[in-house]
Amino acid sequence: MNVDGNHTEQSELSHKEALPTGPIENCGQDRLKRQGFAEKLATAIARRQRRESFVVGLQGPWGSGKSSIKNMMIEALGASDCPPLIVDFAPWQLRDADALFSAFFNEISIAIGKNDGSNDDLKERFQLYGNRLALGSTTLKALGLIGGLAGVPLSNLVEKAGEKLGDAAKVASQGADAVEIKSLKELKDELKESLRNLASPLLVIIDDIDRLEVEEMMLIFQLVKANADFPNFTYLLLFQRDVVEAAIIDKIGDAGKSYLEKIIQLPIDIPKISESQLHKLFREEFEEICTSWQIPTTAEQLNELDSLWRCGLNGMLLYPRDVLRLLSSLEFTAALMQGDGEWEVNVADFCALEAMRILEPTVYHQLPLLQPLLTRPKPTLSSASWREAITSQQSTQHERSNDLYDQIMGSLQNNLSIRRRESARSLLAFVFPQAKWAFLDEKVTEFQRSEDRVISGPRACIPRCFRRYFALSIPDDEISETEIKAIINQIGDAEALKTTLQKHSQSIKLWTLLDEIHDRIKEIPSEYYISLLKALIDLGDEKSLEIESLGLPAQIKSRHIVNSMFMLYQKVEKRGRLLTEAIQESSGLLWPAIWITKEQNENSKNDQRVDKWVTDEQCAELVKMLTQRIKDAALNGHLTFWGNEINFLADFWSRSDLESLKQWLNNKISDEIGLRWFITHFHVKEYIINDPPIVQNIIFHQELFNWLDNVETIKERVENLDTFNWDEYDKIAVEEFVKHAEHFLTTKEK
C-alpha cells in the first residue's frame, strides 16, 4: 500500500542551521515536502482510539527517510486533540533477549506513568509482566526451548515457562507472608482489561529493525506478535523489507517469505522522493556550503554541476541520506580545496570524485593507481600509415597493451556495486573523458555526446591536477589555482611577470604556468600583449633553461602562446608590429631568434599560409635587428656566458654575416682559455628523458668546422689540452671534437 501526501507550503531550512546528516527532528527542517505524508500517517494512527491492537509497517530502503517521517509524525501527534502515549523503542541498543523483554515493557510502563498518577497500578503490572517475560526467557534458554522460536508461537512458550516459574515461585514462598502468586497468563489478562480503560492509546514505535542481527529481528517480531492482542495498542515498525525478508529466509528457509505477512497488518511504503527534489536539495545546499566558506561559485560551475547530475550523480544519490552524506563530506573538504576564496579544483569533478569516495570507496581508492590510463587517450592502431610504419612485432606488443588496458579497466568496474554500477561508469566517463572508451559502451548516446566537456582549467583528467583530487591538497610540486590567478593578473607588468616565471624556471612548474597562460589567452586584455611577449622573450635567456629537457618544452609552449595570441588578429602586419615592438623593448636573444628561424623555414615551404607571424619585410628587419644584438653580445663578452645555445645563435649570425662570425670565433679560440670554452660550449647534447636528464650523446655539427680557419691546427691544439681536472662530459667533448674534426678533414679531402 502506498500512502502519499503533499504539503502545499514547503518548509525551508534556515541556512544558519547546520545541515542535518541524520534524520530531521521536526517539520521545520523538511526540505523534501514529506510533512503532508507524516501528518496523514499521524491522523490515521490517532483515529484508532479504543480499538484492538494494530501493527503498521513503514517500509523503505536505508537512507530513504523513514526516521525523518517518524519524527515529523510524532510532532504532528503531539499537536493533535488526543495525543497517544508514545514509546519510541530502540532495540538495537540491546543485545540479549532478557534485556530486550525487560526494557520493552519498562519503556511502556514509563510512558504510562508519565500520563498521570491514575495509572500507577497499570505501570506496576507492566513492569512485573516484563520482568516475568525476561525471567521466562532465561528459563526457556535453560530448557533448551529458545531455539524453537521460529516454529512455536512465543506466547505458548512463555506460558509454559510462566507455569514453571509460577510453580517455582509458589515453592519459594512457602513459609513466607501470604503473597498472591499469579501466572503470566493471569497477569496478561489483567493488563488487557486495564488497557481497555486507558485514557490515551499507546503507540509503540520500533525503528531500525533491519540493523539487528537476524535472531534479534525475529525476537522483536515475536514479541510484537505475542502481545498484539493488547487493546489500545498500535505498533509502528520501521524497516527495509527486502533486508529483513532476506535475513529471515536465510534463517528459516522458504517459510520466511510469509513471515512478515502474519505480523504486519498494514504495510506502508514511504513516498519515493523525486529526482528533481533531490537535485534541488543538493544544489541549494552546495551553494550554501560555498557561501559559508566564502568561495564564489559561477553560473558556469553550477551549470557543470547540473550536467554532472544528469551524467550519473542522479543515479549515485538515490535517497536523501546519500545526498546528505555527500554534502556533509563536501562541507568539510571544500575548505581543503580552496585558497584565498578560489576553488583549486574543478567543482563538478570534485563533487563526482567525492561521491565515489563516499559511495564506492573500493573503486575510488584504486583510481590514483590508474592515472596513466585515466588521463590519456586509449592508444589505437587506426591509422593506416602508423600500421605500415611499425613492425609486426611492435603491432603485437601494442595490441597486447590494449588488451591489458581493457583488463585493468574492466577489473576496476567489476568492483562497483551492482545498484550503482551504470551511474558510476557514466560519472567516471564525465570526469575522465580521455578514458571514456573504458566506461561507456561503444554505442554512445547523443545525450552522452552532448555532455562532452572542454578539457581545461584544473580538471581531474589533466595530469598536473590529478593528484590533488586524491590528496585533498595541492602537492608541493604543483602550482595552485590561486598562484596561477595571481600570475595571470601580473601579465600587465612585464617585469613582475618575468620575475615570477624565472622563479619557477628550474622546475616543470614553469610548463604549468605557460599552459595556463595559453588556455587563458582570450581573457587577457590586448593592451597587455606587448608586456606578455616581452616577459616571454626575456625568459628565453634564463640560464636554468639551458637543459634541453626543460628549455625545449618551455620554448615550444611559449611559441604556442604567441601563436594563439597572433591568431586573434587577421592582419599579418598587426602581428608583426606587436612582435617587433616587444623585441625592441626586451633584451632577449634566444627565443625570438628561434621563432624567426621557424618562420623563415615555414615560409620557405608555404609563403601563403594564414598563420604567418610577420610579413617578409618585417621578418628581414627582425633578422637584421637580432643579428646586430648577437654581434653586440659577442663584442661585449656577454655571448660567452651562453651555454650550448651558442650553437644556434652562432648559426643565426652566420646566415646574415658569416665573415664577422668567423673573425670573432677564430679570435676567441686563439688562446687555451678560449679553446676550452669553445670545446665545452659549441656542441649539442642529446639527453635521455629522466629526472635529472642524462646526457646520451655529444655532437659537433659539421657546419661548425667551416667557421674555423685551420681545422687541422685546432684539432692538434685540442688533443694537447690538459684535461686532467676537467669533468667527465668535457673530456668526452674533447674526444668527440677530435673524431668530428677528423671526419670533416677526410670528407674535405675527398
For residue 325 the three cell numbers come to 552524506
For residue 693 the three cell numbers come to 636528464
230 vs 146, residue with greater confidence = 230
Give yes or no for residue 74 having a pLDDT over 70: yes
Candidate from 261-265, 390-394, 663-667, 734-738 with smallest mean pLDDT: 390-394
Please compute the mean of the pLDDT values over residues 262-290 and round it to a whole number.
89
Q: By C-alpha distance, which of 54, 346, 340, 353 is closest to 204? A: 54
Contact 294, 287 (CB under 8 A): no
DSSP string, 259-275: TGGGT-SEEEEPPPPPH
Contact 644, 685 (CB under 8 A): yes
Contact 244, 210 (CB under 8 A): yes
pLDDT band for position 404 (cuts 50, 70, 90): low
DSSP string, 631-665: HHHHHTTGGGG--TTHHHHHHHHHHHHHHHHHHHH
728: Cα within 13 Å, side-chain hemisphere: 4
Domain-by-domain residue ranges, the chain? 32-269, 275-468, 669-750
CA 697 – CA 685 distance, rounded (Å): 6
Q: By C-alpha distance, which of 39, 61, 20 is closest to 270? A: 61
Residue 750, CA distances (Å) to 198, 475, 714 in order: 124, 60, 20
706 vs 82, residue with greater confidence = 706
The continuous run of DSSP H or E covering 205 comes out as strand 202-206
pLDDT band for position 676 (cuts 50, 70, 90): very high
Is 330 exposed, middle or buried (CB count within 10 Å of its CB: 0-12, 13-18, 19+)?
Answer: buried
pLDDT of residue 131: 64
Going by C-beta distance under 8 Å and a sequence separation of 6 or more, which residues neighbour residue 204? 87, 89, 108, 233, 234, 235, 236
pLDDT band for position 455 (cuts 50, 70, 90): confident
Contact 62, 210 (CB under 8 A): yes
CA 277 – CA 11 distance, rounded (Å): 13
Give yes or no for residue 515 having a pLDDT over 70: yes
Most confident of 241-250, 287-296, 560-569: 560-569
Contact 588, 540 (CB under 8 A): yes
pLDDT of residue 535: 92
CA 588 – CA 446 distance, rounded (Å): 51
CA 586 – CA 590 distance, rounded (Å): 12
- Of all residues in the chain, what percent carry a pLDDT higher than 90? 29
Please compute the mean of the pLDDT values over residues 123-150 and round it to a whole number.
52
pLDDT of residue 612: 93
Contact 729, 695 (CB under 8 A): yes
128 vs 80, residue with greater confidence = 80
CA 283 – CA 165 distance, rounded (Å): 62
DSSP code at position 30: -
First-to-last C-alpha distance (Å) of the chain: 102
Residue 693, CA distances (Å) to 501, 686, 688, 733 in order: 21, 10, 6, 18
Residue 337 C-alpha from the chain's centroid: 11
The continuous run of DSSP H or E covering 54 comes out as strand 54-59
Contact 528, 575 (CB under 8 A): no
| Average pLDDT score over the chain | 79
Residue 63, CA distances (Å) to 23, 322, 515, 573 in order: 9, 7, 44, 66
Give yes or no for residue 617 having a pLDDT over 90: yes
State phi, psi for 10 to the nearest 5 degrees: -75, 130
pLDDT band for position 239 (cuts 50, 70, 90): very high
pLDDT of residue 205: 92
pLDDT of residue 500: 86
pLDDT of residue 115: 57
Handedness of CA 684, 686, 689, 691 (dihedral sign): negative
Residue range 32-269 in CATH 3.40.50.300? yes
CA 580 – CA 562 distance, rounded (Å): 13
For residue 42 the three cell numbers come to 499521524
CA 725 – CA 679 distance, rounded (Å): 15
Contact 734, 679 (CB under 8 A): yes
365: helix, strand or coil: coil
Candidate from 140-149, 214-223, 516-525, 707-716 with smallest mean pLDDT: 140-149
β-pairing, 54-59 vs 266-269, is parallel
Residue 437, CA distances (Å) to 304, 387, 424, 426, 430 in order: 21, 21, 14, 11, 11
Q: Calculate Rg over the CA atoms of the chain.
A: 41
Q: By C-alpha distance, which of 218, 181, 234, 239 is closest to 58? A: 239
- DSSP collapsed to 3 states, 690-724: CCCCEEEEEECCHHHHCCCCCHHHHHHHHHCCCCC
Please compute the mean of the pLDDT values over residues 566-580 and round it to a whole number.
95
DSSP code at position 309: I
pLDDT of residue 359: 93
The amino acid sitting at 233 is F
Going by C-beta distance under 8 Å and a sequence separation of 6 or more, which residues neighbour residue 680? 730, 733
72: helix, strand or coil: helix
The continuous run of DSSP H or E covering 206 comes out as strand 202-206
Please compute the mean of the pLDDT values over residues 697-714 and round it to a whole number.
90
CA 386 – CA 405 distance, rounded (Å): 20
Going by C-beta distance under 8 Å and a sequence separation of 6 or more, which residues neighbour residue 676? 721, 730
pLDDT of residue 728: 86
pLDDT in tens, 57-72: 999 988 888 989 999 9
pLDDT of residue 448: 46
pLDDT of residue 694: 66
Handedness of CA 466, 468, 471, 474 (dihedral sign): positive
380: helix, strand or coil: coil
State the residue for C-alpha cell 648577437: 630
Q: Give percent helix, percent strand, percent coil of the chain, each to the nearest 5.
A: 65, 5, 30
pLDDT of residue 383: 39
**Is the peptide bond prior to 153 cis by the omega test (within 30 degrees of 0)?**
no
Most confident of 16-30, 191-205, 402-416: 191-205
Please compute the mean of the pLDDT values over residues 438-453 and round it to a whole number.
54
Give yes or no for residue 725 having a pLDDT over 80: yes
Contact 381, 395 (CB under 8 A): yes
pLDDT of residue 389: 38
Per DSSP, helices labelled H in 309-458 are: 314-316, 320-336, 347-359, 361-364, 371-374, 384-389, 392-414, 421-431, 436-439, 446-450
pTM comes to: 0.62
pLDDT band for position 135 (cuts 50, 70, 90): low
**At what angle are helices 529-539 and 548-566 packed, to 10 degrees?**
160
22 vs 556, residue with greater confidence = 556
Q: By C-alpha distance, which of 456, 468, 614, 478 is closest to 523? A: 456
Contact 582, 530 (CB under 8 A): yes
CA 191 – CA 122 distance, rounded (Å): 7
Contact 219, 149 (CB under 8 A): yes
Contact 378, 401 (CB under 8 A): no
pLDDT in tens, 141-166: 443 333 333 443 444 444 444 444 44
